[in-house]
Chains A and B, each alone.
Chain A
Amino acid sequence: MIQITAQITLVLLAVSILLCVIRLVKGPCMADRVVALDTIGLNLIGFIGLIMMVQQTILYAEALLIIAILAFISTVSFAKFLEGGVVVDRNGSSR
């Protein structure tokens, strides 16, 4: 039963990802795209959790956590870039 629901959920997530890709392509503004990217990241986390169940392995737990971390890092970076084009400030005065 879990296998079936996992499969269904996987498809749901895959569709979600596709929807996000549409938003990502459509924009219209950059913030929209970053939102889409962020959400794709979130969906991927779920996706991998599900794959773990489908493939009956916990080997992807690291991947799961890493995506969570990386989605955060990239979202923050993108957002900072959007705000002023500067991702890493040289010194504290700029904020």
Chain B
Amino acid sequence: MSLLHFVVLAPFVMAIFLPFLYYKFRSIHTGWFLLPLPLILFIYVATYIPFGGGGMEAVEHTVQWVPSLGINFTVYLDGLSMLFALLITGIGTLVVLYSIFYIANKPDEPLNNFYVYLLMFMGAMLGVVLSDNLIVLYVFWELTSLSSSLLIAYWFHKEKSRYGAQKSMLITVSGGFAMLAGFALLYIIAGNTFSIQEIISQADAIVQDPLILPAMLLILLGAFTKSAQFPFHIWLPDAMEAPTPVSAYLHSATMVKAGIYLVARLTPVFGLTAEWFWILVIFGLTTLLWGSISAVRQTDLKGILAFSTVSQLGLIMALLGMGAAALHYDFIETETMYYTATMAAVFHLINHATFKGALFMAVGIIDHETGTRDVKRLGGLMAIMPVTFTVSLVGLAAMAGLPPFNGFLSKEMFFTATLNVASLDIFNLETLGVFIPIVAWIASVFTFVYSMMMFTRTFTGEFKPENYEKEVHEAPAGLLISPIILGSLVILFGLFPNLLGYTLIEPAMQAILPGITPVGEQFYVNIYHWHGINTELLMTVAVVLFGLAIALNLKKWAEAAFFQRERDPLNRAYDFGLDQLVVQSQNVTNFHMTGRLRDYMLYMSVFIVGLGMYTFFRYNSLDINLEGQGGIPGYAILVIGGLIASTLVLPFVHKRITNLVLLGVIGFLVALLFVIFRAPDLALTQLLVETVMVVLFLLVFRHMPEITKEKKAPLTTTVKALVSGAVGIFVILTGLSVHALRAESDITPISDFFIENSVPLAGGYNMVNVILVDFRGLDTLLEVLVLGIAALGIVTLIKHRLKGDEDV
């Protein structure tokens, strides 16, 4: 157990104790107890940053968990995990701080729940990024889904919260299940290991396996659902029902990036395949485009941010796909050409976390102070909330990709990457590649538009106090600290991007593209603001121009049908699917669970005959042995005839007492057969039982009416007759074959033993009785137990009557 293990486990441990603190110190906001934890963890992880440059050595510690299944809790810290761990703990600290002021410590506010979920999430997320073992990663992965759902439903009295929680849970967990299957396939392909590093070390061999594609698809399903890629993104806007600190933390900065993390982590494994490239690029760009267009339609500030996040996640995903192309070039060229995409991905990841975090917090403040997030009601807040305004402006500009903020830099790199990729000569990029920068550009235009829109509709225009339920003023300082810090980072990283270069970006890139640095050499990331007037810059200028044009004409756009609906049309598919799932399940269930004993018996009989006969004829089992069939005494034939006749009459008899008399006769005849076949004890028992049974029937008749007449339904009757006939035929055929096989085989029954030993060893001459009380005494003991239970049961049935709600 290393300290790194403790980094993962610490939040869980804290989660156990937190409720006690909550109940013990109700007057102190629970968040304060929590705050030091992410901070300490952040500082601890930060100690691994290679401030001196030159990349970092990966750290690995293993604790055995379920070694027999290949599951070990191995923490692995390299550049990529470190970057994520810093994001999780860093933003985590800020979010906790923010939440202390955001969620008031009111008596009926279950802060303990909130922070326990948050801690669970934090631990789980750290677990995801620090685990080397795929299954452990999966374990934490599902825990993030769980805690996310719980956080979304924190205000579970709201219908929408419950809806959002259910949706996010279903989609992300389903994806998780697929991912688990993918991991399992990977385990099989890689020769029974779940260790990511071991799998990466065999990457070249693995790609040759035919199972690699299904494995990849399944794993990507997990990544895409988690990272809200089209068309699985629909859960994310609904997740905005969570308290805003949660949105800022989970649903923009960290959890939704788990998919990104996984894709980056597995790039060395899958990156060599064309499918990886195309799937990531196509889904990424589609998500980017779809998200940015959808964001424009939103009127809820958090809705805009949600779709914005969707679109930015698509961007990063697409970048990772493009970056994988570098693996094909063995990094021979020192040009940044091949790794720009990956660098952009990592850089934008950081940038997005900062500016989106700031924006979410700002929106939270607006919501908190004004009581609304509806852009139709908001307006003119610039003067009333100057600090919030400033932070928002910085965040929005970064999001729109304007200089000098960090978003601009990564956006530029993104354009570079798309242009680079379009010129590659692999994966048919010569022809198809041209679409990539075009889509990227269009999406950027819309990104600009919604950023612009957020700005104008919230902060500019006229302030109308009648739109608000309370008096609007600037937020308290505590609430502002976190967004200010994030906003400052946006500016800082925008102005001094190379602060991140060798500390965070380079180590991360080494993890994503392991061959990027030749042995013994270093790899330097340098990010510049000014590359001269190049295509990328022109593209940015065009984005601004077109964006302004659209933004100014937004009213016209808004009239188009597509922009009328705020909800994503894909939701209809989801809702319909879920509805139908229930409805169709009900149909299927009601169809076969009819409550009719007759139907159940019919189904079961058909099944028995069907499967039985199939088996029977599959093996050509029919076999009849005619030996020893002669010499049947006439009286026996008559008795058997009488038995069969009485039996066949039974279904046609509709008076219960006649039925019973017939039953009595049949019982007597069966006893007679026992006599004929030399089974005196059986005959006696049969007779006695039969008689007692008859008396019982008679006693019961007193309490019951004449039996129900079957309604005339010839079809049903025919079906019943056919099926029961088939059961009979099945029994007969099998019986005949067993009889024949028995005659052929030389199996000696164990009964010889009883014949030999009954007298000498058991002291009885009646072998049946000796078997009953001695050789198989247990059977007898139990059979009378059955009788005893039945009798007590009958007493209970008759005398014990409850109405049904006395107990549970």
Contact = CB atoms under 8 A, between A and B. Distances in A.
Most B C-beta atoms less than 10 A away, residue of A21, A30, A85:
A21
B698 interface: yes
Interface residues on B, range: 35 or more
Interface string A60-77: 101100110010011001
Interface SS of chain A: helix, strand, loop or mixed?
Answer: helix
A37 B71 CA distance: 74
B634 interface: yes
B382 interface: no
Contacts of B687: 63, 66-67, 70
Contact of A44 (B634, B672, B680, B684): B672
Given A34-B661, A63-B671, A21 B680 contact: no
A88 interface: yes
15 contacts: A13-B635, A18-B638, A18-B642, A27-B658, A47-B675, A63-B680, A63-B683, A66-B684, A67-B687, A70-B691, A73-B691, A82-B657, A85-B701, A85-B702, A87-B702
Interface of A: 7, 10-11, 13-15, 17-18, 21, 24-25, 27, 30, 33-34, 36-37, 40-41, 44, 47-48, 51, 54-55, 59-60, 62-63, 66-67, 70, 73-74, 77-78, 80-82, 85-88
B662 A24 contact: yes
B52 interface: no
Contacts of B695: 73-74, 77, 87
Contact of B638 (A15, A55, A60, A78): A15
B699 interface: yes
Contacts of A27: 658
A74 B694 contact: yes
Interface string B659-681: 00110110011011001101010
Given A17-B639, A63-B687, A55 B646 contact: no
Given A51-B676, A87-B699, A17 B642 contact: yes
A86 B702 contact: yes
B110 interface: no
B695 to A, nearest CB: 5
B633 interface: yes
Nearest to B652: A25
Contacts of B671: 44, 63, 67
Given A13-B635, A41-B668, A87-B702, 4 more contacts: A25-B662, A59-B680, A60-B680, A62-B684
A63 B639 contact: no
Given A7-B634, A17-B642, A87-B695, A37 B702 contact: no
A55 B671 CA distance: 16
Interface of B: 633-635, 638-639, 641-642, 645-646, 649, 653, 655, 657-658, 661-662, 664-665, 668-669, 671-672, 675-676, 678, 680, 683-684, 687-688, 690-691, 694-695, 698-699, 701-702
Contacts of A87: 695, 698-699, 702
Contacts of A67: 668, 671, 687
Contacts of A70: 687-688, 690-691
A55 B699 CA distance: 38
A33 B658 contact: yes
A95 B611 CA distance: 57
A11 B698 contact: no
A74 to B, nearest CB: 5
Given A33-B661, A66-B688, A78-B698, A18 B672 contact: no
A81 B665 CA distance: 17
A14 B642 contact: yes
A17 B684 CA distance: 19
A18 B633 CA distance: 16
A15 B637 CA distance: 11
Contact of A14 (B638, B664, B680, B684): B638
Nearest to B660: A78
A67 B694 CA distance: 14
A88 B699 contact: yes
B694 A77 contact: yes
Contacts of B639: 14, 17
A18 B635 CA distance: 11
A1 to B, nearest CB: 17
A63 B694 contact: no
A10 B672 CA distance: 12
Contacts of B665: 21, 24, 36-37, 40
Contact of B691 (A10, A24, A74, A88): A74
Nearest to B666: A21
A63 B670 CA distance: 13
B465 to A, nearest CB: 87
B659 to A, nearest CB: 10
B658 A60 contact: no
A17 B669 CA distance: 9
A15 B687 CA distance: 21
B754 to A, nearest CB: 17
A66 B669 CA distance: 14
Given A17-B642, A25-B649, A40 B634 contact: no
Contacts of B661: 24, 30, 33-34, 36-37, 78
A82 B656 CA distance: 12
Contact of A11 (B638, B653, B657): B638
B657 A30 contact: yes
A62 B679 CA distance: 12
A63 B675 contact: yes
B664 A37 contact: yes
A63 B649 CA distance: 27
By Cβ-Cβ distance, the 9 closest A-B pairs, closest first, are A14-B638, A10-B635, A70-B691, A81-B698, A33-B661, A14-B635, A59-B680, A87-B698, A63-B683
B582 to A, nearest CB: 50
Given A51-B675, A81-B701, A33 B657 contact: yes
Contact of B641 (A18, A54, A60, A86): A18
Contacts of A54: 633
A5 to B, nearest CB: 13
Contacts of B634: 7, 10-11, 14
Nearest to A19: B642
